[in-house]
Structure 1
Amino acid sequence: MRGVRGAITVEEDRKEAIWSAAATLVETMLRENGIAPETIGAAIFSATEDLVSAFPSAGVRARVDGFDAVPLFDARQLAIEGSLPHCIRVLLLVDTEKGQKDIRHIYLGGAAKLRPDLAGA
């Protein structure tokens, strides 16, 4: 099992924006890593305290094929002074034979600044 990380920012706190961003992030993570939803043990989502209009996991469940049986969990990110606002993060726990260095972690939008070493990989 491997962890696959990702993050994305949204422009505003609206359900549609949160759902769209979360689905885009997860779809990109799946595509870039060749992940099939049935190999995902669980997905953990977090959102900054300024995103209160929707659960990111609900958007993924509604919009990404194959997520009807994947266990999903939402949490609040720590409110650390100076942290990136309007940010959704996800950790996919995936059954894979890939080595840790073969995993592509995905950082989109303003979240690219969280891990500049990985954002362009």
Structure 2
Amino acid sequence: MVRAIRGAIQVDANDRDSVISGTTELVSAIMERNRLTPDDVISVLFTATPDLTAEFPALAARKLGFHEVPLICCSEIDVPGALPHVVRLMAHVETDRPRAEIQHVYLRGAVALRQDIAQ
């Protein structure tokens, strides 16, 4: 079965290390909590709020071994009052887990974005 997994993290600043380390933390948590390997991942769409321009979040996934997984980065809509410094992702994965067992991951300040599904 194909499932979509959502996640987000608020990073500390618009610098390369913050974007890479925050995205690494997010991707690692999603993979661990859903018991996945890079071979299970079909594709990942990353977005970053417009105030994050120092690095592509997808680079963190590449460093984690996502060498053959299609990845893309986009800019999030610049909504007034939106939470700043946020990297979001939607991963499409192959898994036998039922939809109700998929763990969406929201970390740091991004927990406020989806308290209904944040783990």
Q: Deviations over 1:62-121 (max 9, x none)?
A: 2x1x311111100000011111110000111001111111100000000000011222x3
Q: Give, in whole Å, the separation in 2 of the partners of 1:15 and 1:8.
A: 15
Partner of 2:117: 118
Partner of 1:22: 23
SS of corresponding position for 1:61: helix
Moved over 6 A (4+): none
Q: Give, in whole Å, the separation in 1 of the partners of 2:103 and 2:39.
A: 19
Q: Give, in whole Å, the separation in 2 of the partners of 1:101 and 1:80.
A: 30
Q: What is the identity, as a one-letter code, of the residue corresponding to 1:111?
A: A
Partner of 1:105: 104
Partner of 1:69: 68
Identity %: 35
- When normalised by structure 2's length, the TM-score is 0.95
Task: Report matched runs for 1:43-54 at 5 Å.
Answer: 43-54=44-55
Partner of 2:6: 5
Q: Give, in whole Å, the separation in 2 of the partners of 1:29 and 1:10.
A: 16
Measure how far apart 1:59 and its partner are: 2.0
SS of corresponding position for 1:43: strand
* Unaligned 5+ runs, structure 2: none
SS of corresponding position for 2:117: helix
Q: What is the identity, as a one-letter code, of the residue corresponding to 1:74?
A: C
More helix as a share of residues: 1
* Unaligned 5+ runs, structure 1: none
Measure how far apart 1:28 and its partner are: 0.3
- When normalised by structure 1's length, the TM-score is 0.94
Partner of 2:89: 90
Q: What is the identity, as a one-letter code, of the residue corresponding to 1:27?
A: S
Q: What is the identity, as a one-letter code, of the residue corresponding to 2:19?
A: I
Q: Give, in whole Å, the separation in 1 of the partners of 2:117 and 2:3.
A: 17
